[in-house]
Amino acid sequence: MWIGGASPVQLAQFVPGRDAWDALGIHATAAMETGLSFDMGYRCVATTKLNVEYDRQLASFQPTLVWGQLEGAPGLVREAVSKGYASMQYMMDCVYDAATVRSTALLGTKFVGLSQYIADRIGKDAGGKAKVVYPIFDFDPGDRDLSTDNRETGYVLMINPHPLKGIETFLGFAALLPNVNFRLQQSWPMHLADVKGLSNRLADFPNVDFQRAVPDMRPVYRGASALVVPSVWEEGFGMVVPEAQAAGVPVIASRRGGLPESVGGGGVLVDEYQDAASWARIIEELLHSRDFYSNLRTAGWSSVERPQFSESAVVKSFLRGIAS
């Protein structure tokens, strides 16, 4: 089973009759005192009182293994260990306290990284070797037949307009390329004040369109001419990269964190990732060169099909990890 914290706003999204969620196989099943139970092919609990519900579910479910990830995971896995359960912590980025990692490892918790980059970092901080379990992403080779060459008609896409994701750099190269259409696509939750602030800033950018979050990103990718990932922090992996590559969308990304790992040979990495002019030059070259564009689309499909990213390989990595 899965349990996670959620705000009342997030819980409101998972209500019976929401066709968009039902179409993705996410079905609300029961309201609870502290949240909501729903089904994704396995039992899930989303709650506004994570610690309370976590204790309750540990007692009733009695898991063989507790797998923690994201915010609050160190405390949750420590509690699991104190109650005699084996535990693993999945590290999805490089924002963590090294001392906490080391002390948690000493309790017996095993660490798993979203990428080799993270596993190497965690391994050094935890004093051992961390496992790697890549994310599973949907890729059907038949999707190639649905993808189109949007070099001349699509928009240059950035997902998640957040400072850590490079929004300032994005606005810099968008200003340098007034004849190129851009789209900012929300991903992380945004407060209303942040949405209004961004909308006010975009009043000076007639070539930039902002879209709120959607449950299905496939139509968004299908309309893109390229994906830009100008992250300034150390990305753990960059899930948007293989998603775009699978849709036949060329990728330009910062050479930061795990992004070189996710991009592979299927994109362009920017060394001067905070220099807007560097991004503008690459975008212009990509959109003006039919051969360059076509080659990157093909390279992206090859990148997605790397053996270590196959569903069977990821499942084997996961099973090896929990067996250890």
Position 309 in a domain: no
Q: What are phi and psi of 232, to 5 degrees?
A: -105, -15
Give the integer Cα–Cα distance in Å for 6 and 180.
38
pTM of the predicted protein model: 0.86
pLDDT of residue 10: 72
E strands in the chain: 2-5, 27-31, 35-39, 43-47, 65-69, 86-91, 110-113, 131-132, 155-159, 182-185, 208-211, 224-229, 251-254, 267-270
Domain with residue 126: its CATH number is: 3.40.50
- In this structure, are 114 and 230 located in the same domain? no
CB atoms under 10 Å from CB of 212, counted, come to 8
Position 310 in a domain: no
Structural domains in the chain (count):
2
What are the pLDDT digits (tens) for 197-251? 999 999 999 999 999 999 889 899 999 999 999 999 999 999 999 999 999 999 9
Confidence of residue 7 (pLDDT cuts 50, 70, 90): confident
- In this structure, are 121 and 190 located in the same domain? no
What are the pLDDT digits (tens) for 256-315? 999 999 999 999 999 999 999 999 999 999 999 999 999 999 999 999 999 999 999 999
Of residues 29 and 134, more confidently modeled = 134
Position 113 in a domain: yes
User: For residue 97, what are the domain limits?
Assistant: 2-136+315-323
pLDDT of 140 > 70? The answer is no
- In this structure, are 37 and 58 located in the same domain? yes
- In this structure, are 114 and 146 located in the same domain? no
pLDDT of 14 > 70? The answer is no
Mean pLDDT of all residues in 19-33: 70
Q: Tokens for 247? A: 């849709």
